[in-house]
Amino acid sequence: MTDEATSDTDAPRAPWHARVLTIFPDMFPGSLGVSLVGQALENEIWQLDCVDIRDFGLTKHRTVDDTPAGGGAGMVMRADVLAAAIDHAREDMPDVPLIYMSPRGRPLTQARVRELSAGPGAILLAGRFEGIDQRVIDARGLEEISIGDYVLSGGELAAMVLIDACVRLLPGVLGANASLDEESFESGLLEYPQYTRPREWEGHTIPDVLLSGDHKRMAAWRRAEAERLTRERRPDLLADVPRTTPEK
């Protein structure tokens, strides 16, 4: 070993790897191919591939769904077809989280995004129709994650949301000046209001404190505003955050 040998932490990091299981692979990269996240894809900071679930479908029609047991509207994605697609997807990615995008899942949080972003990547299953057979969720230990309390027509957009949130935290994706730790949710609070030039617009001015150059006062104002907004809009977030301003 030479003096220049690198430690594990110095070793170049393998690209963060997102693999999406979908019946609509043409939807990707979609919005993930533009702007900073798209640039990072091009620069191989992260990589993306899709597994077409229909490749594991049955008969010459590549069928992936069937009628719901017990009756009811719509169709359900079959456990046998999905398991074959999942097992194939895991062959060279056995140790990454296996996630089913699902309105029934735990809400996606910035804390979970941070964890996923710090890992090697994720395999994301995008459902369609009325959802997927429960047995494959149980048998393959799928983590169910929701992006909000509303129902989309498919899991692809939800997978894109999760991937976008993870990728922007990867080293080298945002500019060197980006301040991630002051963003909404990072401190448990929503972000304070932002302003830029011009100084006056349609009679509205920028708060004096932000033009004062007094960094201590600016930091205190921003913190107070973040607390005010969080109290007004998301009081549920405040439980874990120590107050720095008196309650009004």
How far is 34 from 1, CA to CA, in rounded Å? 42
How far is 78 from 130, CA to CA, in rounded Å? 11
> What type of residue sits at position 244?
T
In whole angstroms, the minimum distance from the beta carbon of 237 to ligand SAM comes to: 20
Q: Which tokens go with 218?
A: 């600016």
**Contact residue for ligand SAM among 153, 177, 194, 196 (CB under 6 A):** 153
Nearest Cα residue to 85 out of 47, 31, 123 = 123
Contacts of residue 237, defined as CB under 8 A and 6 or more positions apart, other chains included, come to 185, 188, 189, 190, 230
Query: Stretches 78-86, 96-104, 212-220, 232-240: which one binds ligand SAM (CB under 6 A)?
Result: 96-104
Counting beta carbons within 10 angstroms of the beta carbon of residue 37, is it exposed (0 to 12), middle (13 to 18) or buried (19 or more)?
buried
In whole angstroms, the minimum distance from the beta carbon of 61 to ligand SAM comes to: 20
In whole angstroms, the minimum distance from the beta carbon of 29 to ligand SAM comes to: 18
Q: Does 104 bind ligand SAM (CB under 6 A)?
A: yes
Query: Stretches 8-16, 25-33, 148-156, 220-228: which one binds ligand SAM (CB under 6 A)?
Result: 148-156
Q: Does 119 bind ligand SAM (CB under 6 A)?
A: no
Q: Does 101 bind ligand SAM (CB under 6 A)?
A: yes
**Contact residue for ligand SAM among 85, 116, 131, 230 (CB under 6 A):** 131
In whole angstroms, the minimum distance from the beta carbon of 127 to ligand SAM comes to: 2
Q: Does 66 bind ligand SAM (CB under 6 A)?
A: no
Segment 154-193, which members bind ligand SAM (CB under 6 A)?
A: 154-155, 158
CA distances from 109 to 124, 162, 234 (A): 16, 10, 14
Measured in degrees and rounded to the nearest 5, phi and psi for residue 147 equal -100, 5
Q: Does 148 bind ligand SAM (CB under 6 A)?
A: yes
In whole angstroms, the minimum distance from the beta carbon of 227 to ligand SAM comes to: 29
Nearer to ligand SAM, 36 or 75 (CB): 75
Q: Which tokens go with 187?
A: 């401190």
In whole angstroms, the minimum distance from the beta carbon of 95 to ligand SAM comes to: 23
**Contact residue for ligand SAM among 36, 75, 83, 152 (CB under 6 A):** 152
How far is 48 from 125, CA to CA, in rounded Å? 14
> Are residues 183 and 194 in contact, defined by beta-carbon separation less than 8 angstroms?
no
Would you tell me which residues interact with ligand SAM (CB under 6 A)? Answer: 101-104, 126-128, 130-132, 146-148, 150-155, 158
